[in-house]
Amino acid sequence: MSWRSESIWIEFITGSRKTSNFCWAFILFLGSLGFLLVGTSSYLGRNVISLFPSQQIIFFPQGIVMSFYG
């Protein structure tokens, strides 16, 4: 199914808003947030959240890479 005017072509993609896609996006968001929290914790030198220990991670270079990856 598609719709077309003189300047716009719109195609409807079936299945693009499935619940599983939103679940995967949420899981990926939580993972990137974890990386960002660990990188920030290593920069500050203390745990922001106790689930992510940052004493073993040196800020340069591991903490910087984790921050940008997050």
3-class DSSP assignment, residue 56? coil
Report pLDDT for 30: 93
pLDDT above 80: residue 26: yes
Report pLDDT for 22: 92
Helices then strands, counting H and E runs in the chain, come out as 2, 2
Residue 47's identity, in one-letter code, is: N
Q: To which residue do tokens 């106790």 refer?
A: 50
pTM of the model: 0.65
28-68 pLDDT per residue, tens: 999 888 888 888 888 888 877 776 666 677 767 877 777 77
5-25 pLDDT per residue, tens: 677 877 777 777 889 999 999
